[in-house]
Amino acid sequence: MGRIVLEKVKKSFGDVTVIPPLDLEINDGEFVVFVGPSGCGKSTLLRLIAGLEDVSGGKIEIDGNDATFIPPAKRGLAMVFQSYALYPHMTVRKNIAFPLRMAKLDQAEIDRRVNNAAEVLNLSDYIDRRPGQLSGGQRQRVAIGRAIVREPAAFLFDEPLSNLDAALRVGMRLEISELHKRLKTTMIYVTHDQVEAMTMADKIVVLRAGNIEQVGSPLELYRAPKNLFVAGFIGSPKMNFIEGEEAAKHGAHTIGIRPEHIEVSGDKGAWSGVVGVSEHLGSDTFFHIHETGLAETITVRADGEVDFKHGDRIHLTPREDVIHKFDANGLRIE
């Protein structure tokens, strides 16, 4: 079980309010991602749930019990830290066994669970090494092993992949998703990387300055962002925003159009502009178009085969059915 409910949870450090009162429901078995730019309060929110920080107001409920003032050790949650936070003086085996030792399980049961976790996470070959002798990816696995052995009500991940290199990050991302499919335990995952959020989450919580901007599935957020902030934050490359006359034509203050929803053509189109920087990813090419008279730069995602040179004048056509409209307050107009 792992249903977590936050009611009017608030956090301030001295006079600075980091998290104004917010409500959030996390259902049992859900993979929830907190995403937002750095300093948006996502890690603080996670630490409030963990109990590593005390709330300044409100209530935290875990599985129906009021956990607001229960110390972290008694909340039945496991956490994986950005720095891994392994115990450097213990071997991998002892690291993974530590929470079980604290729970006073008998040795046979501890051994059984540790060996099982080591096998699942491919750590058996390193079981007697110390964290200092392991690579970043292996350390991350030990940290996950330490979290899963105690069979917690929920897992909390605090930017667990940000210290890994790009290739490992993709691999670990899959492993964590795989783990969630198998364990079916609630997971709360904090990241600033919207790709991680999109690929892993059942539910994304977008935060800005401690406020929840929107809660929804990855595709809901992609297809119907509630405001300019979410629209700009979800999706890569970033959505293009156009104000003025062109927006007024659609009855909006601002319109947003994603780079992948603009057709490029050499000879005809609704808008025209000059090619600036092109980023070739192989499968796709991102063109940064200037002098369109719409916005400083319009980013376009085109097929990797499309080949325009720096300085070429080209034509753009947006897909009308996926234009997002926002009012003067930045809120979505349906």
Question: Could you tell me how far CA 305 lies from the centroid of its own chain?
Answer: 31
Rounded least distance, CB 44 to other proteins, Å: 13
Contact with other proteins (CB under 8 A): which of 50, 110, 144, 264? Answer: 50
Q: Which is nearer to other proteins, 105 or 323 (CB)?
A: 105
Q: Is 124 one of the binding residues for other proteins (CB under 8 A)? A: no
Count how many residues are written for the chain: 334
Q: What is the DSSP letter of 331?
A: B
Binding mask 9-48 for other proteins (x = CB under 8 A): ----------------------------------------
Q: Is 248 one of the binding residues for other proteins (CB under 8 A)? A: no
Contact with other proteins (CB under 8 A): which of 15, 16, 64, 71? Answer: 71
Q: Which of the stretches 86-94, 199-207, 289-297, 299-307 binds other proteins when contact is defined by CB under 8 A?
A: 86-94
Q: Is 69 one of the binding residues for other proteins (CB under 8 A)? A: no
Q: Is 73 one of the binding residues for other proteins (CB under 8 A)? A: yes
Q: Is 290 one of the binding residues for other proteins (CB under 8 A)? A: no
Distance CA 17, CA 179 (A): 35
Retrieve residue 199's tokens: 């690929």
Contact with other proteins (CB under 8 A): which of 77, 118, 188, 231? Answer: 77
Q: Is 98 one of the binding residues for other proteins (CB under 8 A)? A: yes
* Residues whose CB falls within 8 Å of the CB of residue 167, separated by 6 or more in sequence, listed in order: none
Name the E strands within the chain: 4-13, 16-26, 31-35, 57-62, 65-66, 77-80, 154-158, 186-191, 203-208, 211-216, 240-243, 254-257, 262-265, 271-280, 284-290, 298-303, 313-318, 324-326, 332-333
H helices within 85-201, ranges in order? 92-102, 107-120, 136-148, 166-183, 194-200
**Residue pair 96/147 in contact by the 8 Å Cβ criterion:** no
Binding mask 128-147 for other proteins (x = CB under 8 A): ------------------x-
Q: Is 323 one of the binding residues for other proteins (CB under 8 A)? A: no
Q: Which residues sit at the interface with other proteins, rule CB under 8 A?
A: 50-52, 71-74, 77-79, 81-83, 85-89, 98-99, 102-103, 146, 150
